[in-house]
Structure formats: structure tokens, C-alpha cells
Structure 1
Amino acid sequence: MKYKTSFSCLFAGILAFGYAGMASAETDNETDTSTTTTTQAQTLSFSPGSADIVVGGTLLVKATSTSGLNVVLSQDASTTKYCSFNQKTGFVTGLAIGNCKINATQKGNSSYAFAKAVLVIPVNLKLTQTINFGSAPKIVLGGSGVVTARASSGLPVVLTTKTPAICSVSGNTVKDLKAGLCTIAADQAGNTHYASAPEVTQSFNISQHVAGGGNGNEGGDGGNNSGGGNGNTAGGTKLPVTAPFNCSTLASSGNAADDGRRAYMRLNCVSCHGQDASGGMGPDIRDGGGDVAEAVNGEGAMPSFAGFLCPNDVVDLEAYLGSLSKTQKHLDWDVQFEKIVDGSTAAKPSNVVPGP
């Protein structure tokens, strides 16, 4: 009886110990879970973020991480024929045309997760470059202007004229030869690192100016080239001939004298001969229609208008000037200016005759 009692006590003690051990294990597991930490993501970035190099050229590559931890750079083994990478200096050297790949890795730590990034560097035979012009100069006949053009490579640009009959260029200074559309080309031949730039052009009009005039007996203030203000022997600001025109856009009124008056305005005859053709810096040309054919080719101080005339201009001007009496003053000058076509069309006017 005594033995049984002792066995029962022993069994009860084992059970009690077992429950206590289970409780202790559960407690330990809960403690481990509460102390587990999660690593943060980190982002890698290259400097420069994107770039290309030429065969034989070099590029310094660096990389940083948002974690601030040290980043290791290495070359992708599949691109060794296109470039070489010096891990100590960080310089990439181009070997052949293709894509060079540089790997950046950061192994992470207890706070940051592992990160990797790849920089692809195109290796070209030569770098590309482009040319851009500055503002076009404003040149009048007898003057000159400066053309500016710059290459993205920083290499010097060479300027040449595409219209040698109209203008010439020396360095970046353009000189006129005659009125018309001047076109200047810009080229850059490149070097060991840069390919030649695509040629670009800039076009602008060289205006033919004639001296201005006014009314009165004596000269006044100076103009652009000579004379000024009022006076029969002095002119005002010189005005450009508003030409070339596309002659097909100049509709006829059906009256030769009226069309001649419009031509008189369009060719700026008013600036020399006055609004009523009675004279200014130039002579009185009323009743002088018979001299038009000779005058428009240029004589004395009279500039040549050859190349600026539409087919009927001479006949119409003769009709208009012949209709004016030296005893009358023509005051009806509310004439609508004809439409001037855009520069590309004006450069190649249609139906323009070279002059009588």
C-alpha cells in the first residue's frame, strides 16, 4: 500500500514537471518573435547617370547608395570586348563599338538588404555633335553683318556661302554682293573623338535700300546713309525695296496707271521721288514715263531694280507717271500693300523678269 502511494506521487510529479516545461517553451518562443527585425531596401545610383564614350576614350564612373554604405563596381564579363574597367581608378576605356556594362553592388547588412544596379555605356566610333546658329544678321546693300554658329562639341565651326552671287563670308563676317537671299552654311569636320556634324544653313535677306526724301527746300536730319528729314537735296531714312515678290500674287486692278501707282509704292520710289513723284532726293519724274525703261536698270544715283520687277511693271509705271501733270499734286496714297510671300517662296519668285 505504501509502494502504490509512492508511485502515484511520482507520476503526479512527472506530469506537473511536463506542464511547467511546456509553459516555459511557449514563453521563450514568444520572446524570440518579438525581437525579429526587417531589413530596409536601398537604391543605387551612378554618376554620370548616362553617357557614351568613343573607342579609345575614357569615362570616370562612380556609384552611391541611399544607405550610405560602400558600393562595389565591377565590369559585366559579357562586355569585355567592348570596354575595360579599372576597379581601382573607376575609369572605363572604350575598346570596340558596342555596349559596355558596369555592375554596382551593395551586399547590405543587418539594417539594409542587398542591392544591385547596372549601367550601360554605349561605345561609339566617335561622339556625335550638332551645330546651332544664333540670330540672323540684318544686312543692307553696301553693308556687312556677323553670323554666329556654335558646335555642341565646342570645336570651331567653318562658315561658307551657298549663294556666292549674293554674299561672301570671311570668318564669321558676311558681306553683300547684291540684294537677295543670302544662305550661309556651317560645318564642323570633327576630330579623333567627334564625328563630323551635319551641315546646317541659315538664310536671310540682304535688302536694297534707297535714300529717303521729303518736302521743302533744304535738307534736314541725317538718315541711315545720307541726307535726312525734309528737303529736295537731302534724304531721310533709307527704305528697303520690298521685293522679291511672287508676281502671281499681285492681282491687277485692270487699269495700267493704277497698277503703276501700286508698283511705285511697292518699289519704294516714293522714298526718293516723293509721294506725288514731284521730287525729293531724286528728281521730279511727273510726265517722265518714257524714261522708266532706262531708269530701272540703274543710272547715276538710281539703283538697279533688275530682278525686282514683275512683267508689267515698266509699262504700268510709264502709264502712271505719264498720267501725272507737273502742275498737279497727287494726294491719293491710301493704297493697300500687296501680300508679301514667306521667305522660302520669296527666295525663288515666280514670273519675275530681269528688267527691260
Structure 2
Amino acid sequence: MNMIQAINSAMAVMMERDPDVIVMGEDVGYFGGVFRATAGLQAKFGKTRVFDTPITECGIIGVAVGMGAYGLRPVPEIQFADYIYPALDQLVSEAARLRYRSAGDFTAPITVRSPFGGGIFGGQTHSQSPEGIFTHVSGLKTVIPSTPYDAKGLLIAAIEDNDPVLFFEPKRIYNGPFDGHWDRPSKNWSGHPGGEVPGGYYRIELGKAQIVRPGEALTVLAYGTMVHVVQATCEEHGIDAEIVDLRTLLPLDIDTIEASVKKTGRCLIVHEATRTGGFGAELSALVQERCFYQLEAPIERVTGFDTPYPHSLEWAYFPGPVRLKMALDKLLKD
């Protein structure tokens, strides 16, 4: 399966297992979603369980919070992560606080799916990476998969979770990785599947990172598309990096991160979102606090630039092989 198919499979599996699982959002019904992630679900489960909503993100999430409090498990889709801002009040003031505010009498078991990041030349309103905003909010969980296998297992775990989860899907790898050209769009992109994915039920526990490439020279912390970019760069240049795919930003698997950095003594953090206030800053602080005496060089970050998202210069904005190699060389020379 590619990532879209894996996400579709996760929702189908959960809807078969649990009649309380509801899928909702703009164009998710008959049309199957703008990226076809919900294709076929309405035909299989009916219009009362998979249905279109008005174009009102605040309304979509507000209704989902009410459904969750009532006992359902809604999976609302926000068509692009850039559109999630009108729903911010419902997510922050209602969903994130409901369990605490009601002393545990009510919960908000909602999973908000949304494509995020660049890769389709969507410009400033279809390409943003807002994950750092939500990791700041107590009561929300933030999940970002990097493979189809992880996408399905993590989405199932998110739907089963009794607290609200932001499930950001890197659209740049929806249909499979680009064929090696991570610094520009490839004319020969095959759209090949990302890997084997079981057809039935399985789950991946939230809050567990994965070491996708063991190494000794340094630790690289990444998530989503950037995991593949880092892997390609390190393999191309023969760099013995240990790559940690965070998978879940909140809750964060700080134990795996700490063990890796203490082993290698060097740390590079990579994400597509803008640098200032990005999640990499929090990672840097945590690593410094826990691994200060084992660090052999200052922590480095490679991120998006602190600019409005560029349309025509999208591939220059991405952290790519050139900037990554410069940061890797600097870390290894210190």
C-alpha cells in the first residue's frame, strides 16, 4: 500500500470494528476526499457514518467534540492543514480541556486527520506545517507518520485513544517516495507503494519513536517526509548516522532520543516547518538538558526558512541534501 491506501484501510478497519467511529469533513463522502483518502468508505458504511460537511472548519471540529462527549469516535478531516486555524478555538479551548474541565466525566476521543507540508506546489494556503502550534497545547496529541505501515498502525491507535489527536499526513509522500531526487521534483516519479501493510487490524503505540537506521557518528531526529530526505542524504554520502523517526511529537519518546544522543554524542534536528518556534527548538532544549555532558558538538537544526511559504521556490524552501550535508559536515568536524 501507499500511504493514502494505508490510511483508508485504517479507517475501514476501525469502522468495521466499532460502530461509533464516524468519518466527516469536506468532500469526504461521495467524492472520497481531495486526495481520495476516504474513497469508498461512504459506499461501504453509508451516509450516516461517512458524510460531507459545510466548509466550516470551526463547525467540523465543534461538532466532532460534541460527538466525542456523547460517546462517538469521530474522525474529522481538515482538507489541508492550512485550513485548521478557524478550528483552533474548538481544539484548544474545548477538545484539549474537556477531560480536565469535567474531572474525567467527559472526553474528546476525536482524531483530526489533515494533509500537511509541501510537495504539490500548493503555495501559502496549501503547504504549511503547523505542528509546532499544537505541541504547545496540553491535552492534545500530535502524530506524524513517515511510512504507510506506520500511518495505518498509528491512525488505528489514534482512533482508539480517548483523547484528541492531531494526525498530520505528509502529502509529499502520500503516493510513495520520490525516486531519489529529494532536492527537486522528479520527472520520473513512479509513485510506487511505500511498503507492505497488513490488511487487517494492528496498532502502533503512540509515544514510541523508531530507530530507522542505526549508526554511531551522530543522531538525527526527524519525522514525516524528512525521515526519507535524511536517509537518502546519509546513504548517498556514506554518513554513519543514527536516524530516529519520532512518529509521535506529543507524547514524545524522550527515552529513545536520550539513549541515542548519549551513544553518538552529536545531534542534528530536521523538520520542514519554519525554524523559529518550530518543534526542533523544543527537541534541542530537551537534548541539551538531558545529554549536556555527553555532547561533543553543539546541536544543529536544518529547517524551513522563517518566511511566508514560497510557491515557485518550494523546493528551495525544503531542507534538502545540500543543506543537510553542510550541517552533517559541521557536526562531524567539531
Q: Same fold (TM over 0.5)?
A: no
Decide which structure has the larger Cα Rg and report it: 1
Q: Relative CO higher for 1 or 2, CA cutoff 8 Å, sep ≥ 6?
A: 2
Higher strand share: 1
TM-score band w.r.t. shorter chain = under 0.3
Higher helix share: 2
